[in-house]
Amino acid sequence: MSQSVAIHVENISKSYGTFRAVSELTFKVFKGEVFAMLGPNGAGKSTTIRMILDILKPDSGKIEVLGGALTQATKERIGYLPEERGLYRGVSVIEMMVYLGTLKGLSPADARRRSMDYLTRLDLAEYAKKKVSELSKGMQQKVQFAVTVLHDPELIIIDEPFSGLDPVNTLVIKDLLLDFRRRGGAVVMSTHLMHQVEEMADRLLMISRGQQKLYGTVAAVRAQYALPAVIVEGQGEWKQLEGVERVEHSENGRMGDVLFLKPGVQPDHVLGEIARRDDMHIRRFELAVPSLNDIFIQVVAGERYEQSVVGR
Amino acid sequence: MNKAWLVARREFLTNVRKRSFLLSAVGMPLFFIALFYVIFALTARQYDLASLGIIGYVDRSGILAGQVDKPAAFAPFSSENEARAALDAGEIGAFFIVPEDYETTGAITIYGRTDRNPDLEREITAYLVVNLGVDVDPERLARMQKPVETSVLFLDSGRLLNDESFAGLFIVPLVFVLLFSIGAQVTSGYLMSSVVEEKSNRIMEILITTITPFQLLIGKIIGLGAVGLLQLAIWIGAGLTVVEINRNAPLIQGLALPPDLVVIALVYFILSYFLQASLMAGIGAAAGGEQESQQIAGILSLVFLLPYFFMISFITNPGGFIPVLFTFIPFTAPVAVIARMAFSTVPLEQIVISMAILFVTALLIAWASARIFRWSLLMYGKRPSLRQLIGALRSNAMQTTAIGEAQG
């Protein structure tokens, strides 16, 4: 990967009293990618984001954002949408957007033009003069998103980008995020929605209890958790295959059968074997790669298990 | 600093358009003007001598026999019963009796239907003095009627206190200082609710990743300070208009604002506002919510108004211990100095020292507030303990969210 680095976090730790919120975390976020931060509640995601944004200072370690330590000038190149969302309620949508845009360094005219562009794109143009408090929750979410990207930042950090959005609006925001990535921006999103990560994210970092659990491209992480098994759909007595140790049939047969391989046996080998036999036919053959959701649960559950064992 | 200006601009524009601003900027003067007219009307009617009609008198001492300079409204009666009957019949409004031994005792009795009437008493006194002094040279008599015309010249300020400027010197500064303290308090109240709003609707996290807490705080203080000045200008403008319209009314005659007082009051207003605003911002940041911060602010405002409770010491002894003490306490200095200036003079060095103390205190509080601000920004819904607040002032780590999250 030869992309330029948007965020470089090196060995940061943060404790609150005796509670270790983040422990020796290291990762990079590149420009032109969607980077997902995963982890159970209280894993240290928000703390990490706040340290990146210089709201909190790490106890140790180093953070570089857009090529250096975070300065006021760098802040103008970042868009941040915190988990707890808020807007000024008593003012008009356009007025609030222009204010927040100018704070990010836009000229008032520029801020107004861009705000109208986004509102049009988000189907909210007619609400520009309405008070924020008159908007529905979904509309407010979209306005908040528009505020986050209004100043055309190079990096956006979003906590739970899709919480509270209906499927249609989720799609709208997703398109905007992917569009942002296409133009070379870096997106850091923290989320619980694993299928969104699978669909959108290029790389991910999973943390639990402040420690890195998984880190890398989504494909690599899934491969790392791949079982020594393949999923096969078709006809045949799979047990007769040389390299197969045991077979698990899925309940309704629709999902195919899971073939667990003997140690050292490669999936390719099994596929070749099937192909050579006349009494077996396959419609589908794939590696038994767990979904991110399964991996998430496995990682977190494993940890809870460890915790309870240690606790005893 | 450009961004602080943006914050200031927004705070000014949004607050000036708020209904609460209109209410206090326009509603307050209207209320006070109405109150003024009501009091004026009531007091004016009470002392209306003409409404009494004819005043009867029974002279048993013979001193009024000459009827020198008898006011037209005065009518002699031969006996108390006769006068009483006339009073009961409504022919006269009141009567008084001058007893035989008047010349030795000076006692007279007034019979009336309602309250005391100071104007009537003055009128009777004047009539008696003239009749007692029939043999006296008229010019001396005038002096006997009013032996002293007081004027006091304050050498330090060059201000002259006489009967005409009495109201101006006493009432105007007090009203002035009251306006200023209300103005500073109302405005810093706006500041507090603006902080509480941004904190409770979470916009703070966005702001804080855009501008520094100090820029935010300074921007708010400047913007809302401008709101406060505008409000004061409206109040004072309304007051001056009323005074101008009623130039000839007795209460208002001689009403004037000494320019040195205005300048010093303005400086104190700005310094005191800076102090209060920083304080309120800190409270807004530290308190749990709108209601709690209002309560704390309410108690604190009493401290600022403390000199009013001791106003009697300011009148009787403006240079005494309590007034001088209050001059050097930053919270009470503005009211104390203006009140002292109204009743006497304040040595220049005291004003300078008092302003310096106020300024330094305001700076310290602004600094502390900015730290608490920064520190407690993210502790939504949680009130930091006193220990945590002190910790925030000391530590460099700024581990705000930290404690909040760990506990939650």
B380 touches chain A (CB under 8 A): yes
In the stretch 200-239 of chain B, residues with CB closer than 8 A to chain A read 200-212
What is the spatial distance between Cα B199 and Cα B289, in angstroms, rounded to a whole number?
Answer: 9
Strands A244-249 and A155-159: what pairing? unpaired
Of B10, B400, B405, the CB nearest to A99: B10
**pLDDT: which is higher, A200 or A308:** A200
CB B242 within 8 A of CB B205: no
Query: What DSSP state is assigned to residue A131?
Result: B
What is the spatial distance between Cα B9 and Cα B15, in angstroms, rounded to a whole number?
Answer: 10
DSSP assignments along A232-286, one per residue: EEEES-GGGSTTEEEEEE-TTSTT-EEEEEPTT--HHHHHHHHHH-SS-EEEEEE
Q: Is A211 helix (H, G, I), strand (E, B) or coil?
A: strand
What is the spatial distance between Cα B260 and Cα B100, in angstroms, rounded to a whole number?
Answer: 57
Apex CA B126: angle with CA B124 and CA B131, to 5°? 95
Tell me the mean pLDDT in the region A152-174. Answer: 87
The amino acid occupying position B308 is Y
Contact B204 A102 (CB under 8 A): no
Strands A5-16 and A60-65: what pairing? antiparallel
> What's the pLDDT score for residue A99?
93
Distance of CA B345 to the CA centre of its chain: 18
pLDDT at A267 over 80: yes
> What's the pLDDT score for residue A98?
94
> What's the pLDDT score for residue A39?
86
Contact B6 A102 (CB under 8 A): yes
Q: Complex ipTM above 0.85?
A: no
pLDDT at A189 over 80: yes
For an interface test with B, give the residue of A12, A16, A98 to mutate (most B CBs within 10 A): A16
What is the spatial distance between Cα B170 and Cα B172, in angstroms, rounded to a whole number?
Answer: 6
Residues of B in contact with A91 (CB under 8 A): 14
The amino acid occupying position A89 is R
CB B358 within 8 A of CB B338: no
> What's the pLDDT score for residue A311?
38
**Percent of chain A topping pLDDT 70:** 93
What is the spatial distance between Cα A146 and Cα A79, in angstroms, rounded to a whole number?
Answer: 10
Contact A82 B205 (CB under 8 A): yes
Cβ atoms < 10 Å from Cβ of B46: 14
- Tokens 């220049």 — which residue? B348
Read off φ and ψ for residue B154, nearest 5 degrees.
-85, 110
Fold for A5-222, please state it: Rossmann fold (3.40.50)
**Low-confidence stretches of chain B (pLDDT beneath 50):** 380-381, 397-408
The answer to whether domain A227-287 has CATH 3.30.70 is yes
Q: How long a stretch of residues is chain B? A: 408
| Distance of residue A75 Cα from the nearest chain B Cα, in angstroms | 6
Q: Is B126 helix (H, G, I), strand (E, B) or coil?
A: helix
pLDDT at A148 over 50: yes
Q: Which domains does chain B have, with CATH numbers?
A: 2-6+16-36+158-407 (no CATH), 53-147 (3.40.190.10)
Contact A80 B209 (CB under 8 A): yes
What is the spatial distance between Cα A156 and Cα A142, in angstroms, rounded to a whole number?
Answer: 15
CB A55 within 8 A of CB B208: yes
Model confidence over A4-25: pLDDT tens digits? 899 999 999 988 878 888 999 9
Residues of B in contact with A50 (CB under 8 A): 378, 401
Cβ atoms < 10 Å from Cβ of A229: 21
C-alpha separations of B167 from A144, B163, B175, B343 in Å: 58, 8, 11, 11
DSSP assignments along B161-209, one per residue: EETTTHHHHHHHHHHHHHHHHHHHHHHHHHHHHHHHHHHHTTHHHHHHT
CB A25 within 8 A of CB A34: no
> What's the pLDDT score for residue A310?
42
> Considering chain A, what is the average pLDDT of its residues?
86
What is the spatial distance between Cα B224 and Cα B306, in angstroms, rounded to a whole number?
Answer: 24
> What's the pLDDT score for residue A79?
93
> What's the pLDDT score for residue A280?
87
CB B212 within 8 A of CB B4: no
Angle, helices B321-328 vs B333-343, to 10°: value is 140
What is the spatial distance between Cα B105 and Cα B100, in angstroms, rounded to a whole number?
Answer: 10
CB A289 within 8 A of CB A225: yes
Contact B209 A102 (CB under 8 A): no
CB B112 within 8 A of CB B96: no
Q: Which of A219-223, A264-268, B45-49, B97-101 has the lowest mean pLDDT?
A: B45-49
Residue A88 pLDDT class (50, 70, 90 cuts): confident
| B200, closest residue in chain A (CA to CA) | A86
Tell me the mean pLDDT in the region A240-251. Answer: 82
A269 burial type by CB count under 10 A (0-12 exposed, 13-18 middle, 19+ buried)? middle
Cβ atoms < 10 Å from Cβ of A188: 23
What is the spatial distance between Cα B192 and Cα B183, in angstroms, rounded to a whole number?
Answer: 14
Of A42, A56, A99, the CB nearest to B399: A56
* CA-based nearest residue to A35, from A212, A181, A224, A220: A181
What is the spatial distance between Cα A125 and Cα A119, in angstroms, rounded to a whole number?
Answer: 5
Q: Rg of chain B's alpha carbons, rounded to an integer? A: 30
Domain ranges for chain A: 5-222, 227-287
Strands A78-81 and A155-159: what pairing? parallel
Of B210, B378, B397, the CB nearest to A104: B210
